[in-house]
Amino acid sequence: MSDEPTPAQEREPHWPGMVALFAAASLNIFLPPSLAAGPGWMGALLVGILASLTLMLPGWHRPLGHATTAVVTLELAFALARLISDLAEHRGVPLELLQGALILWSMNVVVFASWYWRLDAGGPHHRSRRGVYFGGAFLFPQLTLSAGARAEAGAERWQPTFVDYLFLAFNTSTAFSPTDVPVLSAWAKILMMIQASISLATVAMVAARAVNIL
């Protein structure tokens, strides 16, 4: 019997990230009209189409997956720029600015979790085929256990799932650091600095300013 994965197995690792990206894109529907890049449903529709193509065309999962993540990242960047501009020009309703800041903060967590999940150790499909996590950009706590401790915990062949990257991104946005997961790769450090900067802009600057003008 061949060890090559079936098409269904090839697509399976991409479900969590695609669902998360669609959820992040759908948040545009709840953004104030002044912040959204066009009608909010258009971004969710485009991401939904790209996600469907990624799952239907296994050979294109990597470029289409990157394109899907890039689309949501651009939506986030556009909305953040508009939000900061509205604050600088003293435009917008304070409650809408607070709503927009909260939505953008949530999108920031999901978008960067998707980038970490998609880029780390060759991506979800590559990690799934190898079966063991190694050579990645992050030193997860499970990897620091001794062989005996990992065996007792049933984690001999442990590898991170999307939830692990989501938790990492959440910590980066709240604590401005990866907390319990040391970062080993330069690209991951750069992405984390960008994510923390966006979080700082939305929470420490934008939200604080919106509260002050209530």
Q: Report pLDDT digits (tens) over 53-72.
A: 666 766 777 777 788 888 88
How far apart CA 199 and CA 54 sit, in angstroms, is 29
**pLDDT score, position 211:** 63
Hey, where are the domains in the chain? 7-212
| CB 99 within 8 Å of CB 28 | no
| Higher per-residue pLDDT: 153 or 175 | 175
Query: Which tokens go with 57?
Result: 């065309």
| CB 199 within 8 Å of CB 108 | yes
Over 50: is that where the pLDDT of 150 sits? yes
Give pTM, 2 decimals.
0.82
